[in-house]
Structure 1
Amino acid sequence: MRHFTVTVPEGGVVEGQTFLAPLPSEYEAGEGYKRIQAPTGRWKDGLFDCGMYGWFHASLCCALCCTQIAMGQVMARLRLSWLGSPTPAASAGSNTIHSNFRNTFNVVLCLVCAYTVFSVSLEFAAMPPPKWDYELDGAYYVPAVVPLLRMWGSLLFTIWSIWALLKTRRSLRSTYSIPVSRQCANAEENCPGCEDFVCAACCGCCVVGQMLRHTGEYETYGGRCCSSSGHVRGTPAVV
Structure 2
Amino acid sequence: MTLKTVEVLAPSNLPEGYVFDATVDGVTFAVTVPKGGVEEGQPIRVAYPVPSAPILVAATPIVETPITSSFVQPDGTRVTETKHPDGTSTVIRETPRIQGSSESQPLAPTGRFRNGMCDCFEVFCSGRFWMACCCIGCYMGQIMQRFKLNPFGAPGNYQNTCLICTVAFTILIAVSWILTAAANVNLNLIVLIWMTIAIALTHREFRKKYLIPPKCCGESCWGDCCCALWCGCCLAIQMDRHTHDEKIYKYQCCTNTGLSQGAPEIV
- The residue number in structure 2 matching 1:209 is 237
Q: 1:210 Cα shift?
A: 0.3
* 1:188 partner letter: G
CA distance in 1, matches of 2:225, 2:266: 24
Contact 2:95 2:107 in 1 (8 A): yes
Which residue, 188, 191, 201 being the options, matches 2:218?
Answer: 188
1:220 aligns with 2:248: yes
Distance 1:177 1:217 in 2: 18
Provide closer, same or farther for how the CA distance between residues 113 and 178 of structure 1 changes in structure 2, counting only shifts above 3 A. Answer: same
Q: Tell me the distance in 1 between the aligned counterparts of 2:211 and 2:174.
A: 39
TM, length-normalised to structure 1: 0.67
Q: Return structure 1 stretches of 4+ with deviation > 4 angstroms.
A: 3-6
TM-score w.r.t. length of structure 2: 0.61
Deviation at 1:8, TM superposition (A): 3.3
Match of 2:203 in 1: 169
Structure 1 pair 6/168, CA: closer, same or farther in 2 (3 Å)? closer
Pair 1:38–1:117, CA change in 2 (3 A): same
* Matching residue of 2:212: 178
SS at match of 1:210: helix
Q: Distance in 2 between matches of 1:209 and 1:121?
A: 30
Deviations 1:99-126 (A, max 9, x none): x53401111011111112201221342x
Post-superposition shift, 1:50? 1.3
Structure 2 contact 80–93 (Cα < 8 Å) conserved: no
Q: 1:118 aligns with which of 175, 179, 191?
A: 175
The one-letter code sitting in structure 1 at the alignment partner of 2:258 is G
Higher strand share: 2
Instruction: Considering fraction of residues, name the structure with more helix.
Output: 1
Cα distance in 1 for residues equivalent to 2:247 and 2:82: 26
Tell me which residue corresponds to 1:37: 107
Residues paired across the two proteins, number: 183
Cα distance in 1, alignment partners of residues 79 and 244 from structure 2:
24
Larger relative contact order (CA 8 Å, sep ≥ 6): 1
- How far apart are residue 76 of structure 1 and its match? 0.8
Instruction: Give the structure 1 partner of residue 81 of structure 2.
Output: 8
Equivalence for 2:19: none
Query: Quick one: structure 1 residues 9 and 120, their matched pair in 2 at CA, closer, same or farther if it must change by over 3 Å?
Result: farther
Q: Please state whether the residue corresponding to 1:8 is helix, strand or coil.
A: strand
- In the alignment, is the contact (CA less than 8 A) between 2:200 and 2:228 conserved in 1? yes
Partners of 1:73 and 1:9 in 2: CA distance: 35
Bigger Rg, structure 1 or 2: 2
Q: Deviations over 1:56-109 (max 9, x none)?
A: 22222211222221111110111001110012xxxxxxxxxxxx5340111101
Quick one: which of 47, 50, 71 aligns to 2:120?
50
Gapped runs of 5+ residues in structure 1? 30-34, 88-99, 126-145
Deviations, residues 118-159 of structure 1 (Å, cap 9, x unaligned): 01221342xxxxxxxxxxxxxxxxxxxx33xx24x3332221
- Superposition RMSD on alpha carbons, in Å? 2.7
Q: Which amino acid aligns with 1:204?
A: G
Contact 1:165 1:200 in 2 (8 A): yes
For residue 172 of structure 1, give the secondary structure of its aligned residue in structure 2. helix
1:16-31 correspondence runs (5 A): 20-23=93-96
